[in-house]
Amino acid sequence: MKLEYIALAIPFFVFFMLLEYYISQKRNKKIHQFNESIANINVGIVERITDLLTTGSFFFAFTWLHQNWAIFTIESNWLTWILLFLATDLVWYWYHRFGHEINLFWAAHIVHHQSDDFNYTAAARITVIQAFARGLFWSILPIIGFPAEMITVLLLIHGTYPFFTHTQLVGKLGWLEYIIVTPSHHRVHHSSNPEYLDKNYGDMLIIWDKIFGTFAEEKAEPKYGLTKSLGSHSFLWQNFHYFLELMVAVRLAPTFKQKIKVILGSPNNHDPRIRTLLERKLSQKVTHIQYSKQLIRAIKVKTLTTIGVLFITILFSHYISKPNLWLLTAFIIFSVIITGAMLEQKRWIFHLEFVRFSILCFIFNETITTLYTTTLIVIVYTMVLLFYNSINSKYQKVIFAN
Ligand SMILES: [Zn+2]
Ligand SMILES: [Zn+2]
Q: 301-323 pLDDT, tens per residue?
A: 999 999 999 999 999 999 999 99
Torsion of CA 209, 210, 213, 215, to 10 degrees: 60
Kindly state whether residues 30 and 165 are assigned to the same domain: yes
Q: How far is the CA of 191 from the centre of ligand 1 (A)?
A: 10
Kindly state whether residues 56 and 80 are assigned to the same domain: yes
CB 88 within 8 A of CB 199: no
Q: How far is the CA of 109 from the centre of ligand 1 (A)?
A: 7
pLDDT, one tens digit per residue, over 146-205 is: 999 999 999 999 999 999 999 999 999 999 999 999 999 999 999 999 999 999 999 999
**Is 229 within a domain?**
no
- Which ligand has the minimum distance to the alpha carbon of residue 95? 1
Q: How far is the CA of 320 from the centre of ligand 1 (A)?
A: 36
**Is 118 within a domain?**
yes
Kindly state whether residues 271 and 339 are assigned to the same domain: no
How large is the average pLDDT for residues 95-114?
A: 96
pLDDT at residue 290, rounded to an integer: 80
DSSP 195-257: GGTT----SSBSHHHHHTT------SPP-BS-SS------HHHHHHHHHHHHHHHHHH--SHH
pLDDT, one tens digit per residue, over 120-150 is: 999 999 988 888 888 899 999 999 999 999 9
Range of the domain at 392: 293-400
Taking the C-alpha atoms of residue 243 and residue 256, their distance in angstroms, rounded to an integer, is: 18
Classify burial at 187, counting beta carbons within 10 Å of its beta carbon; exposed 0-12, middle 13-18, buried 19 or more: buried
Kindly state whether residues 206 and 355 are assigned to the same domain: no
Kindly state whether residues 135 and 31 are assigned to the same domain: yes
Position 287 pLDDT exceeds 70: no
Q: How far is the CA of 398 from the centre of ligand 1 (A)?
A: 39
pLDDT at residue 285, rounded to an integer: 64
Given pLDDT bands bounded at 50, 70 and 90, which one contains residue 286? low
pLDDT at residue 54, rounded to an integer: 83
Q: How far is the CA of 189 from the centre of ligand 2 (A)?
A: 7
For helices 349-367 and 388-400, angle between their N-to-C axes, nearest 10 degrees: 110
How large is the average pLDDT for residues 352-381?
A: 92
Position 329 pLDDT exceeds 70: yes
Amino acid at 117: D
Q: How far is the CA of 34 from the centre of ligand 2 (A)?
A: 19
pLDDT at residue 281, rounded to an integer: 86
Stronger pLDDT, 312 or 280, i.e. the higher one: 312
Q: What percent of the chain has pLDDT over 90?
A: 82
Q: How far does Cα 63 stand from its chain's mean position?
A: 26
pLDDT at residue 166, rounded to an integer: 98
Kindly state whether residues 206 and 256 are assigned to the same domain: no
How large is the average pLDDT for residues 286-303?
A: 86
Beta strands in 21-109 (DSSP E): none
Amino acid at 43: V
Q: How far is the CA of 257 from the centre of ligand 2 (A)?
A: 33
**Is 226 within a domain?**
no
Instruction: State the total domains in the chain.
Output: 3
Taking the C-alpha atoms of residue 311 and residue 325, their distance in angstroms, rounded to an integer, is: 13
Give how far Cα 7 sits from Cα of 17, 28, 154, 257, Å: 16, 33, 18, 46
Taking the C-alpha atoms of residue 67 and residue 293, their distance in angstroms, rounded to an integer, is: 57
Q: How far is the CA of 107 from the centre of ligand 1 (A)?
A: 11
Position 52 pLDDT exceeds 80: yes
Q: What angle do CA 364, 295, 338 make, to 5 degrees?
A: 45
Q: How far is the CA of 203 from the centre of ligand 1 (A)?
A: 10
CB 356 within 8 A of CB 301: no
CB 152 within 8 A of CB 81: no
pLDDT at residue 184, rounded to an integer: 98
Position 399 pLDDT exceeds 90: no
Q: How far does Cα 193 stand from its chain's mean position?
A: 23
Q: How far is the CA of 400 from the centre of ligand 1 (A)?
A: 36
Kindly state whether residues 40 and 160 are assigned to the same domain: yes
Q: How far is the CA of 123 from the centre of ligand 1 (A)?
A: 11
Q: What percent of the chain has pLDDT over 70?
A: 98
Kindly state whether residues 266 and 330 are assigned to the same domain: no
Kindly state whether residues 45 and 138 are assigned to the same domain: yes
pLDDT at residue 283, rounded to an integer: 67
- Structure letter (DSSP) for residue 139: T
Q: How far is the CA of 166 from the centre of ligand 2 (A)?
A: 6
Work out the number of other CB atoms within 10 angstroms of the CB of residue 294: 14
Q: How far is the CA of 108 from the centre of ligand 2 (A)?
A: 13
The full length of the chain comes to: 402
How large is the average pLDDT for residues 288-303?
A: 88
pLDDT at residue 345, rounded to an integer: 85
**Is 223 within a domain?**
no
- Which ligand has the minimum distance to the alpha carbon of residue 167? 2
Given pLDDT bands bounded at 50, 70 and 90, which one contains residue 231? confident
pLDDT at residue 4, rounded to an integer: 92
pLDDT at residue 171, rounded to an integer: 95
Q: How far is the CA of 294 from the centre of ligand 1 (A)?
A: 35
- Structure letter (DSSP) for residue 387: T
